[in-house]
Structure 1
Amino acid sequence: MPLAVIEASPDLAIELDVPNREYNPGETITGRVLRRSHVVSSEALVSIKLYGRTKVRVDYTTNSGNGSQHHTVRTRFDLLGSGPAFNRTIFKGPIHIPPDGSRAESWPFSLSLPTGPVNPQTIREGAKKKQKYSFLPIDPAEQITSHQLPFTFYSKVGSFWANGIEGYVEYVLQAEFFEQHTSRFSSTPSAKKTASAVLPVTIRPPPIPPLLPHEWSLNRFIKRQGVRTQRLIPAFAEGDVELSFKQKTLKLFHSSKVPKYSFDVLVLSPGVIQLGSVDPVPFRVAAVPKFGAADETSEEVRELERSPMVNVVSLKLVVKARTEVKVNSMWVADRFIDRTDKFFEWSWNWKEGEEGMALPVWDRGLAAGAAGAVGVDYGDEKKGKKEKKEKKGEKEGLGGGGGGSSSAAVVGPEGEPPARDIGAEMELRFNPMELVYKGGTAKMTALLYPDFTTYNIRRTHELKWEMVLSVAKETVKVSNSHLVRFVAPWT
């Protein structure tokens, strides 16, 4: 079930008025069919048609007592049908193109794209049976006509022998040239196809207005961290002050005599990302001191005038794409139709002293306010994990990015602790083929599509981040992953 590729020759070719243009649903495709090679015919016919389809192929291997067996299953949905709106005769009559090619023939065409599937009869044929193999409702027919026309898409995960999944949505122009033909077995002339041409066209997702600040659907993650080291005390804070053997031993065995600083790491990461956005992706990080009686922060640290500084040493972002498909076979196990593929990873390391590394420092008054607040909870990690599992199945809706911890109120200026927006400072922006950041770009290994669901294909994404933080020359690592919804650009 290969993707359609360009087929053109002097016998027949298709050209668009605007080459390589991408179309929105509802727009009109205009172009021409050309013939340059010699032909003489008293009656010729040229047709042009546009077809769209979404196809899936699953390859998998099963093992039995007789060895392993390879299986292939497929499913497809035709989106446009073969009606006159998408299958037209653009020329009929005599034709003469001289052998020297001094004159070519050109026939213009115009085909309007719908905003949704217009082939409900074929799509819902045997609906009661086929509904099992469709993510979208296909019965009754009114359901189908309200669906959005899916954009051009291609994904392949795995291989022929390694339980591979291949799925795509394609739209193709096909032109055919017929000549009058008389068979020696019949005196009645008939039409004979003597040339054809193929040109795939790209349908892009409908544009979405720029996201408003609340539409980033920030995921709130919080985790308690702590470090034990004598360097929390100003007398040992400088790097050239050597610790004694006894101090190093106490630190090695995490003795309670070694000062400890407890703090919560609060991360606000995007649950929705717009491709090609002019606004940078928000990624806000705060370190919230924990000075309560049960927070294990040592008394000598609580008595400091200012909270210890927390620095971001490194940041890593990983994007994973999850492709789910449905095929018309009850014998395909679930493990063969759901694959997650990591196709992008980006890391950044700050050098000590670089701008953009240090998180805001809480002063004593603000820290005391946080410690003295009654009923304040920055989130429960176990509860966050439970919420993540519950939201794992959420694939639809603008705020579909799930996961993260409780969004309880946070004490601080304007209801939040002072944070640093690393995403804004580094000017992080996702484009379909790259991540743009301040000073460079990182290429994707595959095209980053918006999330979508069509009849037999569903595409979702997961964002994983990992940070290393430094406190008094000690490091801690925090990480989290959650669903993130990529949406189409505005233009």
Structure 2
Amino acid sequence: MGRTTYKGNPALQIVTEGVTYPTVPLFAPGNTIIGRVCRRAALVSTEASVQITLCGRAKSKITVRRHNAASHGTTTTHYRGRFTLIDEDAHRQTIFNGPLHVADSSDNQTWSFVIDIPTHCSQRKLVNSVPANLSFLPLDAASVAIHRLPGTFDMDHSGWSSDREGFVEYWLEATILFIQHGKQRSETATLPIIIASANNDPPITDFGNRRYRELRVISSFRLLPNMEAAELTFQQKCQQLFGSSKVPRAAGKLELYMPRIMQLGNPSTVPLRLRFVPDKKLSSDNMHDIPIKIVLQSLRMTLMTKTTVRCAAAFSPREASDDTEITLNIWPPSPGQPSSILYIPCTGEYPPIDVGAKADFRLNSQAPRQALRKLYPRFTTYNLMHTHYFKFEIVATASGEEMKMNAFESVVILPASEARQAPVAAYSAHPGSSAVQQEEEAPPPPFQPRSESWIRPPAETDAPPTFAQAQEENVTRKSQEAERSTEAGPSVP
């Protein structure tokens, strides 16, 4: 299932403002694309026209391989799905029409264009375009009217007996038609673009934390005061081994407060809070008034993504899913390097400790964590559905005894509040090229009127003077004026 690739040569080429290939331009729904179509190759034609078109589609494909016993071979079946997201006829412009002469020695012949990206999917292309059961979303006119344009997406998984593919892509396509030697000829150029999921709201501050807790029991003589590093006797070791009631026992609930909502690029750290709430009813009597020291050894998050594709089949839609995992070591922040000891609070009277803040953990696709570079927000479009859930693995120790806990939760990953970022380098060519960076102090783009993250306080050197400083400057200025008038002497009438 072919994706649209870059196509440009001296005969025809597309260039967007401020970005040149192999860098892929990045936009958001509602943005305006400003660019030009160029031709360097010589051409003389009495009649020519140049058109530019904005295109977008969502495609899915399932390939199934079955063993054929009769032929002792393999039978391959392909199932496909396709939805046109942008009405190409409504987003096609004729930017030149007339005689054309491009000389060998001349500069590029260019034609400028301005195209607005729609914010919603095309009703004309989607309403009742296929049977309703082939789409994850309803296809009636009222529903399609509120379907926002999905962001660029790419998934490709090859298996032993089946393959799953799905992508959402957008591109510009330019065509020049001309008459040469009595025959009509044409040249085409294409330029893939990235459309990020738009989010005009400010960064979230409520991550929808949910409490997950499990009962944990620690039995050890080392829980007693002054016994942390003591050498146990043979009798004590035997009592611990066989679970004797004489062994001090501390029981309680290990609590993890984990988010149900995350956001790419959010400046706030992801709240991951831990504490241990003792249960005196389940603890031995000699441990009721003795504080427990629990040290967090590791906190690991495995973020699992599930992408489901739907395709047309003979009798009913066919679906296939692809699961991928991203494992992140949150604590310690730098595995293998020494870090400060992190104690888990052992009381129900005080708030839990925020491990996410201590580890400075953010869900940022531009962060150094390489695994997050291709993390997509949650979305559902007509033939693709992309969801997330995660697993937390906690390892802690108390008096040399280890306790573990695993927690599972579905999570909604939202797009970044500022969808317009620096352009992204093309994947297939010039991997060493760097993306064009925006200026640090640039204001937010027009499609994010509510974002204020670009605002910076003035530097201290640029701050206005204080009242005392202003008074001192005023006294100095008057003193200097008096000295100048004395030196000049009295004025002559």
Q: TM-score range by the shorter chain?
A: 0.7 to 0.9
Residues 360-379 of structure 1: pairs in structure 2 closer than 5 A = 360-362=345-347
> Partners in 2 of 1:172 and 1:456 — Cα distance?
19
Question: 1:433 and 1:134, CA in 2 relative to 1: closer, same or farther beyond 3 A?
Answer: farther
Match of 2:196 in 1: 204
What is the DSSP-based 3-state SS (H/G/I as helix, E as strand, rest coil) of the residue aligned with 2:356?
A: helix
Match of 1:191 in 2: 184
**Mapped contact 1:153–1:168 kept (Cα < 8 A):** yes
Question: 1:445 and 1:24, CA in 2 relative to 1: closer, same or farther beyond 3 A?
Answer: closer
Match of 1:143 in 2: 143
Displacement of 1:465 after TM fit?
1.0
> Partners in 2 of 1:204 and 1:359 — Cα distance?
39
Query: Considering only aligned residues, what root-mean-square deviation do their CA atoms show, in Å?
Result: 2.3
Match of 1:233 in 2: 224
State, as a whole percentage, how many aligned pairs show the same letter. Answer: 29
State which of 208, 211, 215 in structure 2 corresponds to 1:220: 211
Displacement of 1:472 after TM fit?
1.1
Displacement of 1:343 after TM fit?
3.4
Match of 1:169 in 2: 168
Match of 1:478 in 2: 405
> Partners in 1 of 2:340 and 2:317 — Cα distance?
52
Amino acid of the structure 1 residue aligned with 2:61: R
Displacement of 1:259 after TM fit?
1.3
Match of 1:12 in 2: 12
Q: Confirm or deny that 1:299 pairs with 2:285.
A: yes
State which of 242, 245, 262 in structure 2 corresponds to 1:253: 242
Displacement of 1:90 after TM fit?
0.9
Displacement of 1:142 after TM fit?
2.2
Amino acid of the structure 2 residue aligned with 1:257: K
> Partners in 2 of 1:433 and 1:65 — Cα distance?
51
> Partners in 1 of 2:28 and 2:48 — Cα distance?
33
State which of 359, 364, 368 in structure 1 corresponds to 2:344: 359
What is the DSSP-based 3-state SS (H/G/I as helix, E as strand, rest coil) of the residue aligned with 1:122?
A: helix
> Partners in 2 of 1:489 and 1:251 — Cα distance?
52
Displacement of 1:126 after TM fit?
4.9
State which of 308, 319, 326 in structure 1 corresponds to 2:303: 319
> Partners in 2 of 1:445 and 1:429 — Cα distance?
10
Q: Deviations over 1:175-226 (max 9, x none)?
A: 11111146xxxxxx56321x2110011111112434444x301121000001
Displacement of 1:235 after TM fit?
3.9
Q: Deviations over 1:148-200 (max 9, x none)?
A: 111111112334x4422111111111111111146xxxxxx56321x211001
Match of 1:107 in 2: 111
**Mapped contact 2:364–2:372 kept (Cα < 8 A):** no
What is the DSSP-based 3-state SS (H/G/I as helix, E as strand, rest coil) of the residue aligned with 1:450?
A: coil
Match of 1:388 in 2: none
> Partners in 2 of 1:471 and 1:332 — Cα distance?
56
**Mapped contact 1:208–1:488 kept (Cα < 8 A):** no
What TM-score, normalized by structure 1, do the two folds share?
A: 0.79
Q: Confirm or deny that 1:459 pairs with 2:386.
A: yes
> Partners in 2 of 1:445 and 1:485 — Cα distance?
15
State which of 316, 319, 324 in structure 2 corresponds to 1:341: 324
**Mapped contact 1:33–1:106 kept (Cα < 8 A):** yes
Q: Confirm or deny that 1:59 pairs with 2:59.
A: no
Match of 1:98 in 2: 103
Q: Deviations over 1:345-398 (max 9, x none)?
A: 335348999535101243xxxxxxxxxxxxxxxxxxxxxxxxxxxxxxxxxxxx
**Mapped contact 2:66–2:161 kept (Cα < 8 A):** no
> Partners in 1 of 2:316 and 2:395 — Cα distance?
42
Displacement of 1:134 after TM fit?
0.6
> Partners in 1 of 2:108 and 2:402 — Cα distance?
72
Question: 1:112 and 1:351, CA in 2 relative to 1: closer, same or farther beyond 3 A?
Answer: closer
> Partners in 2 of 1:359 and 1:456 — Cα distance?
45
Structure 2: gaps (5+ residues)? 419-493
Larger Rg: 2
> Partners in 1 of 2:236 and 2:314 — Cα distance?
66
> Partners in 1 of 2:242 and 2:142 — Cα distance?
69
Match of 2:260 in 1: 271
Structure 1: gaps (5+ residues)? 183-188, 363-410, 435-440
What is the DSSP-based 3-state SS (H/G/I as helix, E as strand, rest coil) of the residue aligned with 2:255?
A: strand
What is the DSSP-based 3-state SS (H/G/I as helix, E as strand, rest coil) of the residue aligned with 1:291?
A: coil
> Partners in 2 of 1:73 and 1:445 — Cα distance?
31
Aligned residues: 410
What is the DSSP-based 3-state SS (H/G/I as helix, E as strand, rest coil) of the residue aligned with 1:42?
A: strand
Match of 2:77 in 1: 71
Match of 1:429 in 2: 362
> Partners in 2 of 1:177 and 1:36 — Cα distance?
13
**Mapped contact 1:433–1:448 kept (Cα < 8 A):** no
Amino acid of the structure 2 residue aligned with 1:191: Q
What is the DSSP-based 3-state SS (H/G/I as helix, E as strand, rest coil) of the residue aligned with 2:344?
A: coil
